């Protein structure tokens, strides 16, 4: 898949994920890299910004306007990303599925609803974007959740590659899918974080093979939580997930510094 030669706004404004992951002592294994990634990451490394400052929990949640201002949007990702055109058919066709293990079922439910922490307890804002080249869909949410609840959910997510590394799931239409769950490294942003890469392999009623990839990433930053999903039947770039989380955490930190100043 050939990408436009133009440098993306996201990659220009974010720190080099390659450098951050090296600092954290981890790397993404066996993931295809889009052509724009290596050149842009090198340029970013040559003028690296200071380390991401962690938002401090002030005990006061963001206003809804501040949550909206903290979102990652199509202006950050650049072409070919744009506002979503609506939910893809694979959401109901592949993510509405059941399995015997309760924790693995909880994961499937979280992937379908895109809400691993449940309904937000306070102000929240969401952006939903489509990749015009690959038809991937990205959903980014900033919301207030009790920090202790968030940390428990992040611990649960960390357990899933061991608990649900490989399992089978039946869709509501009777299809059987093989599911694989792996850790996805994130830059060291926020107060706590975890990401997973989930792949679901199966076939349609007509016998056509399907291969859905879905990243689920979450970061707790002070009193707020960032939740991101990035999914599709074609290429789903881990670098987009990682750098969107990094840029979003930096933006949330800046908004947090403003306190409750009117936006």
* Per-residue tokens: 48: 């690296």
Residue 39 counted as domain residue: no
pLDDT digits (tens, 9 = 90+) for 65-110: 999 999 999 999 999 999 999 888 888 889 999 999 999 999 999 9
- The predicted structure's pLDDT at residue 41: 33
Q: Which of 83, 66, 85, 76 is nearest to 127 (CA)?
A: 83
Residue 29 within any structural domain of the chain? no
Task: Tell whether the model's pLDDT for residue 257 goes beyond 70.
Answer: yes
Distances (CA, A) of 53 to 160, 190, 221, 240: 29, 8, 10, 21
Residue 227 C-alpha from the chain's centroid: 6
What distance in Å separates the CA atoms of residue 115 and residue 119, rounded to the nearest whole number?
Answer: 7
According to DSSP, the β-strands at 137-144 and 166-171 are unpaired
Residue-number span of the structural domain to which 242 is assigned: 64-262
Confidence check: pLDDT of 157 > 70: yes
In the chain, the number of structural domains is: 1
Please give the C-alpha separations between residue 235 and each of 111, 230, 231, 240, in angstroms, as whole numbers. 18, 10, 9, 11
């Amino acid at each position: 898949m050939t990408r436009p030669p133009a440098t993306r706004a996201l990659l220009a404004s974010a720190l080099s994920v390659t450098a951050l992951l090296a600092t954290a002592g981890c790397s993404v294994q066996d993931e295809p890299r889009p052509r724009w990634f290596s050149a842009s990451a090198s340029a970013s490394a040559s003028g690296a910004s200071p380390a991401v400052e962690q938002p401090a929990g002030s005990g006061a949640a963001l206003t809804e306007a501040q949550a909206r201002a903290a979102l990652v949007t199509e202006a950050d990702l650049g072409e070919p990303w744009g506002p979503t055109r609506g939910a893809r058919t694979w959401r109901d066709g592949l993510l509405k599925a059941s399995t015997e293990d309760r924790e693995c079922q909880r994961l499937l439910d979280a992937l379908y609803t895109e809400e691993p922490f449940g309904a937000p307890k306070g102000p929240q804002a969401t952006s939903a974007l489509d990749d015009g080249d690959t038809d991937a869909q990205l959903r980014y949410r900033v919301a207030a959740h009790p920090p202790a609840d968030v940390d428990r959910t992040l611990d649960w997510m960390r357990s899933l590659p061991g608990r649900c590394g490989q399992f089978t799931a039946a869709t509501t239409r009777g299809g059987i899918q093989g599911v694989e769950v792996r850790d996805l490294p994130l830059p060291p942003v926020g107060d706590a974080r975890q990401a997973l890469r989930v792949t679901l392999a199966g076939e349609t009623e007509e016998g056509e093979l399907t291969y859905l990839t879905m990243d689920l990433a979450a970061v707790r930053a002070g009193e707020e939580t960032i939740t991101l999903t990035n999914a599709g039947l074609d290429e789903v770039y881990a670098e987009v997930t990682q750098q969107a989380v990094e840029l979003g955490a930096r933006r949330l930190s800046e908004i947090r510094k403003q306190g409750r100043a009117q936006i």
